[in-house]
Amino acid sequence: MGDGDQGDRPVVSLSPSAEYTPLDPAELDALRDLGRRWPPAGSRRGDLPLDPALGRFSDRPTASRFNRFAQVRLFRAEAPGELAATERAGRPQSRLGRSLAAVRRVAVGPPLTSAAVVQERMRKLVALPILSSDLISSVAYGPEAMLTILVLAGTGALGLSLPIGAALVVLMLSVGISYRQTIAAYPHGAGSYIVASDNLGARYGLAAGVGLLLDYVLTVAVSVASGIAAVTSALPRLAPLTIPMALVVIAVLLAGNLRGVRASGKLFAAPTYGFLVAIGALLVVGLARAAGRGFTPVPAPHESAMAGIGAVLVLRAFASGATSMTGIEAVSNAVPVFHPPEWRQARTTLSWMIGILVTLFAGLVVFAHIEGVAPSAHETVLSQLARRAFPSGPWYYLVQIATAAILLLAANTSFNDFPRVLYFIARDGYAPRGFLRMGDRLAFRNGITTLAVAAALLVIVFRASTQALIPLYAVGVFLAFTLSQAGMVVHWRRHRTGRWRHSLAINAVGAALSGVVLVTAAATKFLSGAWVVVLAVPLMVLLGMRIRRHYDRVGAALSHRQPTEPAGESPERPDQVRHLYVVPVARLDRAALRTLAYVASLNQPAFAVHISPDDEEDERFRSQWQAWGDHLPLEIIVSPYRAIVPPLAHYLAALHSLRPDLTVTVLLPEVVVPPGWQRLLRTETPRRLRRALRDLPGVVVGSVPMHVTP
């Protein structure tokens, strides 16, 4: 399919309103039918005792314990019947809340309006460091992971790094070109998840999405651990502080990404370009030195063989080296964050990334072979190569600083892609809807925070050890690669547009090679820790399906197309509602009397109920009720076991069973004291009653507060 065929494809934006699901046409028709059956009477703007558009408020500040600003500064009129809340209206009411909001404002910046989402786009030069830092930085540990497996067969096996590296380059090119095809066919982002869902089915799509999510969590943990390893290789005295330093880095990444796409791009662009310059200089200088001696390989230090050279060892080395590809799918997941035309900008950025990856990976493998470098428990392979290229001067430390910086910040790619993939999964109902919500800075705060917490737990559990985390790596991402490319094969067979046979062949090769890496990584690393991912993927898929069933069930109950009312629930037309108000009263104080007065003013059937622990309290309360005047019916329930909430809940359920057509409204007298320690002195009975009663069908729970000022 040619590039020009995709220019008019619509791009699905990451919208702040995604969590507000619109009604479909059938529901709109049902809504219109219901509206026609409503009685004509109802309140209009002119019938109300005040102007809901706040037109009667003056410009003078009004005394309010909720806000000290003038009302006209909190809201502004946009159109008839429409107000717009200003930034001041969103500020917390309590002093503690305002203090925390001020701290958050300093940490992540001032809030952005929903309209600013269009401005939170990236140019190619900004997108490259943000989306490629994971992929490019993986060359710092990918070649070493391959050599670590080969050296198990002794020093002689290190010579296999060249053919295995060549096979990995073929894999990189194949998968990279395949994702170019994916961006063109699916320009709306969430590549692997959407492709597998559309062409292989929901379960396969969810498996691909889960694989990506797990990979992003591991990417943060592995990248941070590798970056700390680069620091401790140059400064061994810092080794005891490995875990605290890793957690601090994750916290910095969290704060940086909560500031939004553009802000994080400015923060993390320099380390990526610095690493490219440093590794480019290392390869140029190192290979120039090797050319001076005719590229004669230096003998590697002798290592005793602990395993024989065989197909299994070669496949293990191939799968370990393939960790250099993690992050290659990042662009396809983040197409909507590019400037228009999004798909074309994304494909160009991906092409740059593939070219840089192949150049750096192949150069480092060749350089390591020529220099006879072998993995060491005390120094990374990249550090050894830097010492060979720059035996004197500050250049070695500059390379290590650049390496540490990009490894520590490479996790930024995951912080960009994890919440976006989770957004698409949540949009389809397989994850909690809270992951659709954008924060103050138009960043997916819940997804970003979840990623940071999960990665921090991995760092603590595995003690920030790259070697301990690597076996968990690759399984999830290559599961997504395999399913995505297999889905593209099905896509081309279905549509058969343009050069579909050529595209199908590219995706088929990518699927086959990715499948080989997936099976090899899962089998050879299973006992070393990959079993965690192998087990986690199906469990998370099952969890996602359960979440989807929940949303489907709730959605069906809330749909206007529901043929009958849910059992025991209130009707939807005012002329069908039959009221009964119940006021639980513990003692006849002013809070209770205000609630009783409010209920009586509604001119609806109402009565009070009192829970008494014994007959003595029964008689005492009856006498007080008579002294008040017995203005409403009273029912007393004697609870000899002194329970309050369960007897009342069972009593209301019994009332509803007698008359299911009634809407029973329970109004609780509630004393509200100023926030802080004083609230700890209040009983939890009203809150417990609300929790117990909200599960009863046909029962509405509310409260009439009485505010006690300090």
Interatomic CA distance for residues 424 and 193, integer angstroms:
8
What's the confidence (pLDDT) of residue 53?
54
More confident residue, 419 or 37: 419
- The residue to which tokens 């990249």 are assigned: 382
- Whichever domain contains 616, its CATH number is 3.40.50.620
Above 80 in pLDDT, residue 35? no
- Residues 192-251 pLDDT 10s: 888 899 899 999 999 999 998 998 898 888 888 888 887 887 788 888 888 999 999 898
Interatomic CA distance for residues 349 and 572, integer angstroms:
53
What's the confidence (pLDDT) of residue 119?
47
Interatomic CA distance for residues 610 and 66, integer angstroms:
34
Tell me the pLDDT of the chain averaged across its residues: 78
Q: Which of 552, 582, 605 is the last residue of a domain?
A: 552
- Residues 278-320 pLDDT 10s: 998 999 998 888 887 777 777 767 666 666 677 888 888 888 8
- Residues 168-187 pLDDT 10s: 998 888 888 888 888 877 77
Do 545 and 641 lie in one domain? The reply is no
Q: Provide the pLDDT confidence category of residue 455 given band limits of 50, 70 and 90.
A: very high
Do 262 and 199 lie in one domain? The reply is yes
Do 632 and 693 lie in one domain? The reply is yes
Give bridge partners of residue 703 from the DSSP assignment. 668
- The residue to which tokens 């910086």 are assigned: 405
Do 595 and 697 lie in one domain? The reply is yes
Do 580 and 664 lie in one domain? The reply is yes
Other CB atoms within 10 A of residue 405 CB: 22
- Secondary structure class of 67 (helix, strand, coil): coil
Q: Provide the pLDDT confidence category of residue 536 given band limits of 50, 70 and 90.
A: very high
491's CB contacts (< 8 A; 6+ apart) are 185, 195, 198, 199
- The residue to which tokens 């599960």 are assigned: 695
Domain membership flag for residue 492: no
Above 70 in pLDDT, residue 41? no
Domain membership flag for residue 98: no
Interatomic CA distance for residues 573 and 198, integer angstroms:
40
Above 90 in pLDDT, residue 541? yes
76 membership: H or E segment, kind and range = strand 75-79
Do 389 and 537 lie in one domain? The reply is yes
The DSSP bridge pattern shows strands 82-85 and 75-79 to be antiparallel
Give bridge partners of residue 579 from the DSSP assignment. 663
Domain count for the chain, please give it: 2
Domain membership flag for residue 6: no
Q: What is the pTM of this model?
A: 0.73
Domain membership flag for residue 154: yes
Which domain, by its residues, includes 368? Answer: 114-482+509-552
Do 452 and 583 lie in one domain? The reply is no
| Torsional class of 431: left (φ above 0), alpha (ψ -120 to 50), beta (otherwise) | beta
**Burial (CB count within 10 angstroms: exposed 0-12, middle 13-18, buried 19+), residue 657:** exposed
Do 539 and 585 lie in one domain? The reply is no
Do 591 and 531 lie in one domain? The reply is no
Domain membership flag for residue 458: yes
Other CB atoms within 10 A of residue 356 CB: 19
Interatomic CA distance for residues 203 and 197, integer angstroms:
7
Give which of 402, 441, 448 is closest to 216, Cα–Cα: 448
More confident residue, 334 or 564: 334
What's the confidence (pLDDT) of residue 59?
47
Average pLDDT over residues 62-68: 46
Domain membership flag for residue 80: no
What's the confidence (pLDDT) of residue 583?
92
What's the confidence (pLDDT) of residue 116?
47
Domain membership flag for residue 581: yes
- Residues 11-33 pLDDT 10s: 445 565 666 676 677 777 776 77
Do 450 and 524 lie in one domain? The reply is yes
Do 536 and 587 lie in one domain? The reply is no
Do 545 and 691 lie in one domain? The reply is no
Domain membership flag for residue 421: yes
Above 90 in pLDDT, residue 404? no
Per the CB < 8 A criterion, the answer to whether 323 and 142 are in contact is yes
- Whichever domain contains 452, its CATH number is 1.20.1740.10
- Please work out, in degrees rounded to the nearest 5, the angle formed at the alpha carbon of residue 614 by the alpha carbons of 609 and 620: 65
Per the CB < 8 A criterion, the answer to whether 137 and 356 are in contact is no
